[in-house]
């Protein structure tokens, strides 16, 4: 059985380096006992140097929450793939809805995904609709988000692409308000269909699809099992060691 992929998006938390180290060490310790799951932690950039030391030789991989599409230059406030890989980051979340809300366009996200994959990272492309209406227009919205990025990718880039479906309306809520697994299964199949249309069946099968949005210990198993996804992108519960390890354990067993 393929390993489940569980990614922690710490967002702009925690505020202190000591706290970041404590959470990371706790996760790392627990992960050593979990089989059947691959774990990636994406902290704020500033914690990377310390966490890279802790991650050395361990099973937990490091990622970041955004990257720019140039190696260096006059780009105030940006961080390049080369800079983050010096601290062992090999994964990058790109196009998260919280960044799109600050003005990132599909075109910008596409450029970032392309460049980041070329630099040897695995890109975790986030897509998700703001809300849902009866007429199902959110499917068109998701198709547009995906195709904008796919148009710049080659088949071989898919080996380093993960798609995280995160409906915005389901982020930052309680477990009961996360997505229904039946609806998730439909969306998973829809994303696979778009991938297949564009790249063909075999290359499309290599792309892992994750769900994100109020993933908690008590809904993780059913989301993975009944939602047809290959793993989870976890926000707030990933800052709580006990909760995150429980999610890992139940998802790995699902």
Catalytic residues: 96, 166
Q: What is the enclosing helix (H) or strand (E) of 81?
A: helix 81-85
Strand intervals (E) in the chain? 4-9, 37-42, 61-64, 89-94, 122-127, 161-165, 208-212, 231-234
| Token pair for 75 | 């780009």
Minimum CB separation from ligand 13P for residue 172, in Å? 5
Minimum CB separation from ligand 13P for residue 13, in Å? 10
Residue 97 phi/psi, 5-degree rounding, is: -60, -30
Return the number of other C-beta atoms located less than 10 Å from residue 74's C-beta: 6
Q: Which is nearer to ligand 13P, 19 or 71 (CB)?
A: 19
Q: Which is nearer to ligand 13P, 94 or 204 (CB)?
A: 94
| Token pair for 151 | 């148009």
Distances (CA, A) of 60 to 20, 63, 217: 14, 10, 19
Minimum CB separation from ligand 13P for residue 171, in Å? 4
d(CA 42, CA 91): 8
Whether cis (ω within 30° of 0) applies to the bond prior to 105 is no
Q: Which is nearer to ligand 13P, 126 or 204 (CB)?
A: 126
3-state secondary structure of 215: coil
Minimum CB separation from ligand 13P for residue 58, in Å? 22
**Nearest residue to 190 via CA among 231, 229, 154, 225:** 229
Strand intervals (E) in 65-200? 89-94, 122-127, 161-165
Q: Which is nearer to ligand 13P, 157 or 166 (CB)?
A: 166
d(CA 222, CA 250): 9
Minimum CB separation from ligand 13P for residue 7, in Å? 8
Positions touching ligand 13P (CB under 6 A) are: 9, 96, 166, 171-172, 212-215, 233-237
Q: Which is nearer to ligand 13P, 110 or 167 (CB)?
A: 167
Measured at CB, which residue is nearest to ligand 13P? 235
């Amino acid at each position: 059985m393929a390993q489940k992929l569980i990614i922690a998006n710490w967002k702009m938390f925690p505020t202190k380096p000591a706290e970041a180290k404590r959470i990371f060490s706790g996760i790392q310790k627990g992960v050593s006992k979990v089989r059947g799951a691959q774990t990636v932690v994406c902290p704020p950039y500033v914690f990377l140097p310390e966490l890279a030391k802790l991650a050395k030789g361990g099973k937990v991989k490091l990622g970041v929450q955004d990257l720019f599409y140039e190696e260096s230059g006059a780009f105030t406030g940006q961080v390049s793939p080369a800079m983050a890989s010096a601290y062992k980051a090999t994964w990058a979340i790109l196009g998260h809805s919280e960044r799109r809300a600050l003005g990132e366009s599909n075109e910008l996200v596409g450029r970032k995904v392309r460049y980041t994959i070329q630099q040897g990272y695995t890109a975790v492309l986030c897509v998700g609709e703001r809300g849902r209406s009866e007429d199902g227009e959110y499917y068109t919205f998701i198709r547009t988000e995906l195709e904008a990025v796919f148009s710049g990718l080659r088949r071989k880039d898919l080996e380093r692409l993960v798609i995280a479906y995160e409906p915005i309306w389901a982020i930052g809520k309680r477990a009961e308000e996360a997505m229904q697994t039946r609806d998730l299964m439909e969306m998973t199949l829809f994303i696979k269909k778009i991938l297949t249309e564009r790249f063909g069946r075999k290359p499309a099968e290599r792309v892992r699809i994750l769900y994100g949005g109020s993933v908690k210990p008590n809904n993780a198993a059913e989301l993975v099992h009944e939602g047809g996804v290959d793993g989870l992108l976890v926000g707030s519960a990933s800052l709580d060691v006990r909760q995150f390890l429980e999610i890992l354990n139940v998802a790995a067993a699902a």
